[in-house]
Structure 1
Amino acid sequence: MTDRVVGHATQIAALTARFLDLLRVFDERGVWTGAGIRSCAHWLSWKTGLSLRTAQDHLRIAHALTELPLLRAAFAQGRLSYSKVRAVTRVATPDRETELLTVAISATAAQVERVVRSIAHIDRAQDEYTAGRVDSSARWRWCDDGTLAVTMRLSPVDGARFLAGVVRSEYERTRTTGDPDVPIPTTTRDGDGEEVVVAAKPDLWRHVPANIADAVIVMADAARTAIAMPEFAPGAEIVIHTDSATDSSVDAHLDDGPPLTAAEVDAASCGGSTRTIGHAPRPTRGARRGVALTFGRKRRLPTHALLRVVFERDRGCRHPVCGRTRHLHAHHVRFWRDGGTTDPDNLIMLCSTHHQALHHGVFTIEARGNQQFSFHRPDGTLIDTAPTLAVTGNWLPNTTLHPTAITPIEPGPLDLAYTIEVLYGIWDHTPSRHPIAA
């Protein structure tokens, strides 16, 4: 059983390498174009069931391997797994390829990831030192336990601005909770009779708190309630979904986020920009959530309330190969000039790219009633939302591959510092193996 599992893993690696070779040629020839498809990654996501992020990764790796023949050959021989190739191609260059291949073959996938992260960190530090600046970045994600994780890396000035905002927010938070150590601003008049603001306590206030979570929440609340936004601005308010039109705590959950307790719903509702959306039961099996807003022929432009309903229903561009969630337009499937109505049965969300493609005849949309729509090519054939995958050809294992090629060569423990020191020692003192032609 062990031999079969390892042998199949080797075959999978070799087949993946072949798949990426075909994908690169497929992309270079532009075979994926047509019917409103915006990129090869979107075509791949549509036709093969991959997520858009995975499809983009496949394309990145496929094109990167064209300049890395040693890695490409080892991948095709089943000696490197896809996980290792994905990691190494983030930092690999023709001058580094030989050493990185040695590390990848001799280490586990987890160890390769650690080495690559260290190299990327060093490269970024060197680039920033050369450029003389640091670009601020921040990322967020919902964790499995329902909490939100935020990671930020700010330039010195941006970091100082952030901490200054934290101190002010902490001051506001503690002031409103009656903290006795917080100086309360008062007014008085100077010698010229001008009114000036002074603190009741002249002592300096505290510095940046060690735990800045509470202050950051105050900063977010202040921005959420004080900054004016357009009436319809998805993402700029707390959106809570519930399965009851009257009770906001029934099966409540954040928009694209984790479930909420009744107490959490009540706490969120204290903000000035919180919206609760109640969903009625679906009218028929498999149908989308029903709505009651209908404006018929009396109104061409949808109201903000109707826009929210259509946006909540579609959750992005409805074209089968898109899914884009920004720069969306509400489109009348049956044009207004042709008698189309302004209601959910005739409105659909399209991104700017597919909206323009529709009006240029690249594809058509048919309203099928009950807020259901179908997309068609110019010849009338249906553009499937998720085409069925089918096995093609009579595939047999490649018998030329060594059955244990995928297994690392004596992986052992990783001395990360020593590994990085050796790699950069080689790269910093080895002339370029690929000189630029004169």
Structure 2
Amino acid sequence: MFDGADPASLSDEALESRVLGHAAQITSLTAEFLSLVAELDDRQSWRGPGIHSLAHWLSWKAGVSQRTAQEQVRVAKALRELPLIRQKFREGRLTYSKVRALTRVATPLREKELVNLALSCTASQLERAVRAMGQIDRGHGEGGGLVPPAESWGRCKWNLDGSLSVSMTLTPLDAARFLAGAVRAEYERTRTGEDPDLPSVSRNTPEELETESGEKDSEVKPANRRDLWRNVPSNLAPAVVAMAGMVHDGIAMPELAPGAEILIHSGESVEHAHLDDGPALSDAELAEARCGSVTRKALSRKVPGRPGKLALLGLGRKQRAPSKAMIRALFLRDRCCQTPGCGRTRHLHAHHVVLWSAGGETELDNLILLCGTCHRALHRGEFSITGHGQQRFSFHRPGGSVIEASPSTRAPGLWQPDSKITADATVPVGGGKLDLGYATEVIYAVWEWRERSALQASTAA
């Protein structure tokens, strides 16, 4: 039980014991949490207005990120078929980090060896082992055939210092296209007046110069900048920025395309110039952005008590459809479907809260963004929206109760630790000292022997 002791008053031994003990308790509770998530998935009782998946529901109700919720649902589903891993998880022996890794490669026939491995190594060691196993498994499919790699994917995030981090994993062919594009962009970025528009060797680019045997001809080289054409730049960032600039300048876009524009908020009503939904810009960066750019102004004023909200002159009852300027302001204000728990950013509708047919006006105080699914649910009476003026809205269930945008995750009552979970349950057997290469070799040998034995038994029968 919690005794309310001040951590600063504990001895080193007591402090270490409590840290490990709480880690074991958290592990056991996480196992119970995921078993409940799996049951919730079976019952489908999470469904409701604006909720498109169980991960959406967890993100809204449990206060976790969408990506974390998606991974929790994946692990919860995978554990249904893995009783041994599930048991060790509930005992606090396998942490969530280890279970999350194991569920990527575990099967009912494999889990015994994988559990023994996981109990004897650290979470980072297990991650490395699982990555290696994944590569081995992907290398050979049924019948020993080559299995294609997973689809390309990527993500980006703004850092605290205002920089942007981009992470991508590409299939071999996509990677080759990306690197070839980077080489071309680097040539264009650094080209001088003496360089031709295109290499002048039979009008072919380097990747098209092949011998009859299918191998690249090392004797045929572009006459100019041969080193640049032959090598991928060591620093890809300038080339990627150049690639983005070429696409930005060369591809037309629709009138309203918030994600494809470089939108900067500045002016007297803005304390610091900043990218839309992004970091602040220095005076030098602002001047660079303005130099040679096409600019558009959005006439707006601050709404009292509503930081960041735009108040734009509306159309009243003169026109039902919002103007382009109003649609732009609406996207800047809402950014996504406003139904609590939804958050979709594509195929959005500008909805009149007080219907146009009921006398509602085309003003930002009466307009809100909804995705197609939520818009349909609204008109079916699954929930309702009330406008409170100054661009404030609330969502209500059919009975009238408010749908909270960010519900509390605090559970009633006091948590009592499980006395059956030992304080050192999460500590690896042997202190985490393990030869992962040897362990992986032994594990695969056991699995291959088991498969051969099963094949021989089926043949004899």
Is TM > 0.5 for Structure 1 vs Structure 2? yes
Q: TM-score, normalised by structure 1?
A: 0.84
Secondary structure at the residue paired with 1:295? coil
Which residue of structure 2 aligns with residue 299 of structure 1?
Answer: 319
1:315 to 309, 313, 335: 335
Which residue of structure 2 aligns with residue 193 of structure 1?
Answer: none
For the pair 1:398 / 2:435, whether they are aligned, the reply is no
Alignment of 1:179-190 (within 5 A): 180=194, 182-183=195-196
Which residue of structure 2 aligns with residue 265 of structure 1?
Answer: 286
> How far apart are the structure 2 equivalents of 1:382 and 1:12?
32
2:253 to 226, 229, 240: 229
Q: Where does the alignment leave 5 or more consecutive residues of structure 1 unmatched?
A: 187-201
Please tell me the residue identity of whatever aligns with 1:354. Answer: C
Q: TM-score, normalised by structure 2?
A: 0.80
Verify the 8 A CA contact 1:41 1:52 in the aligned structure 2.
yes
> How far apart are the structure 2 equivalents of 1:41 and 1:185?
50
Deviation string, structure 1 residues 61-111 (Cα, Å, up to 9, x no partner):
111111110110001111111222122212222122112111221122222
> How far apart are the structure 1 equivalents of 2:25 and 2:171?
46
Secondary structure at the residue paired with 1:26? helix
Alignment of 1:167-182 (within 5 A): 167-175=183-191, 178=192, 180=194, 182=195
1:253 to 263, 274, 284: 274
Please tell me the residue identity of whatever aligns with 2:125. Answer: Q
> Post-superposition shift, 1:287?
5.3
Verify the 8 A CA contact 1:239 1:275 in the aligned structure 2.
no
> Post-superposition shift, 1:153?
4.3
Which residue of structure 2 aligns with residue 161 of structure 1?
Answer: 177
Deviation string, structure 1 residues 334-371 (Cα, Å, up to 9, x no partner):
11111111121011111111111111111111111100
Which residue of structure 2 aligns with residue 283 of structure 1?
Answer: 304
Shifted more, 114-123 versus 157-166: the winner is 157-166
For the pair 1:48 / 2:62, whether they are aligned, the reply is yes
Secondary structure at the residue paired with 2:386? strand
Alignment of 1:5-24 (within 5 A): 5-24=19-38
Which residue of structure 1 aligns with residue 355 of structure 2?
Answer: 335
For the pair 1:37 / 2:51, whether they are aligned, the reply is yes
Please tell me the residue identity of whatever aligns with 1:81. Answer: T
Secondary structure at the residue paired with 1:67? coil
> Post-superposition shift, 1:136?
5.2
2:166 to 150, 153, 174: 150
Deviation string, structure 1 residues 300-357 (Cα, Å, up to 9, x no partner):
1112221121111112110011111222111111111111111210111111111111
> How far apart are the structure 2 equivalents of 1:169 and 1:325?
31
Secondary structure at the residue paired with 1:140? strand
- Change in Cα spacing, 1:17 to 1:433, as seen in structure 2 (3 Å) is farther
Please tell me the residue identity of whatever aligns with 1:139. Answer: G
> How far apart are the structure 2 equivalents of 1:320 and 1:12?
29
> Post-superposition shift, 1:22?
1.6
For the pair 1:87 / 2:110, whether they are aligned, the reply is no
- Change in Cα spacing, 1:69 to 1:55, as seen in structure 2 (3 Å) is same
Secondary structure at the residue paired with 2:364? coil
Verify the 8 A CA contact 1:91 1:119 in the aligned structure 2.
yes
- Change in Cα spacing, 1:261 to 1:118, as seen in structure 2 (3 Å) is farther
> Post-superposition shift, 1:51?
2.0
Verify the 8 A CA contact 1:137 1:153 in the aligned structure 2.
yes
Deviation string, structure 1 residues 42-65 (Cα, Å, up to 9, x no partner):
222222222222222222111111
> How far apart are the structure 2 equivalents of 1:288 and 1:153?
36
- Change in Cα spacing, 1:185 to 1:41, as seen in structure 2 (3 Å) is closer
Please tell me the residue identity of whatever aligns with 1:263. Answer: A
Q: CA RMSD in A?
A: 3.2
> How far apart are the structure 2 equivalents of 1:19 and 1:434?
36
Give the count of matched residue pairs.
416
> How far apart are the structure 1 equivalents of 2:251 and 2:129?
44
Which residue of structure 2 aligns with residue 141 of structure 1?
Answer: 156
Secondary structure at the residue paired with 1:411? helix
Which residue of structure 1 aligns with residue 207 of structure 2?
Answer: none
For the pair 1:345 / 2:365, whether they are aligned, the reply is yes
- Change in Cα spacing, 1:27 to 1:403, as seen in structure 2 (3 Å) is same
The sequence identity of aligned pairs, in percent, is 49
2:409 to 380, 384, 389: 389
Verify the 8 A CA contact 1:237 1:275 in the aligned structure 2.
no
- Change in Cα spacing, 1:260 to 1:416, as seen in structure 2 (3 Å) is farther
Shifted more, 252-261 versus 56-65: the winner is 252-261
Alignment of 1:67-146 (within 5 A): 67-126=81-140, 130=145, 133-134=148-149, 137-142=152-157, 143-146=159-162
Verify the 8 A CA contact 2:24 2:424 in the aligned structure 1.
yes
